[in-house]
Amino acid sequence: MEFLFKPEKLSEDLKYQVSEAISKRAEIFSRKRYPGLWEKTDRLNEKKLPEEALLRRRRFRRFYGIICIALGIFLFVPGLVKPSELFVPLVVGACATVLGISAVIPRKTNSEKFEKKAKKLISAINSSLKPGDKVLFNEEGIFENGALLMEYENLESIIENRSIFLVCDGIKIMVLRKADLVIGNPEEFKIFVESKTGKKTEKI
């Protein structure tokens, strides 16, 4: 049984999906290293508030941040004028302003944190890609243009996103578009790789 990819250059539109996959890979390693911490995190996530309650909380946080900024400026500016006499208001004003700004600025999601790495990975893959390149998965291993690229026993993670598979062995990372699979189909491919590696595909 074999599956053949003929990779095309990855478009900028895939940046977010690649970022999600890299984020998931980081989570997999973190779960292995800190199982106790993740057990507590999962329990907290089970008690996650409804979306409406989270929206109210975000609004309150923004309102609270604006109040802190206003109060901080009110205390900070006079403190700048007379720092020796108004040292305490100066420090309190500075702290309130920083606290307010941190409350107002939207927090990045895990995927957004990995966007820079995703862009670098896409750029590296596109720059090394040549016309006619082929990636073949067969019973013996994973081959690129006829040369052995990875062995199944060394694969550390296989992550599936909406349009891509991210396959890595700890040294090399491949991002394969489902649309570039010319022999076989994504579902059969996933079953085949899972059978060869003994690892479950992590789906996002």
Specify whether the CB–CB gap between 181 and 4 falls below 8 A: yes
How long is the chain?
204
Q: Which residues contact 103 (CB under 8 A, 6 or more apart)?
A: 61, 62, 64, 65, 68
Q: Which has the higher per-residue pLDDT, 43 or 12?
A: 12
Contact 71, 96 (CB under 8 A): yes
Q: Find the DSSP H helices in 82-200.
A: 87-104, 110-113, 115-128, 186-197
Q: Give the predicted TM-score (pTM) of the model.
A: 0.66
110: Cβ contacts below 8 Å, ≥ 6 apart:
23, 26, 27
Strand locations in 114-187 (E): 135-137, 142-144, 147-150, 157-160, 164-168, 173-177, 181-183
pLDDT band for 134, please (50, 70, 90 cuts): very high
Per residue in 135-149, pLDDT (tens digit) is 999 999 999 999 999
Local confidence band at 75 (pLDDT 50, 70, 90 cut-offs): confident
Condensed to tens digits (0 to 9), the pLDDT of residues 169-180 reads 878 999 999 999
Q: Are strands 202-203 and 135-137 parallel, antiparallel or unpaired?
A: unpaired
Mean pLDDT value across residues 46-73: 76
- Which H or E run contains 203? strand 202-203
Could you read off the pLDDT of 99-126 as tens digits, one per residue? 878 777 766 555 567 888 999 999 999 9
Question: What is the pLDDT at residue 130?
Answer: 92
Q: Residue 39: its pLDDT value, please?
A: 79
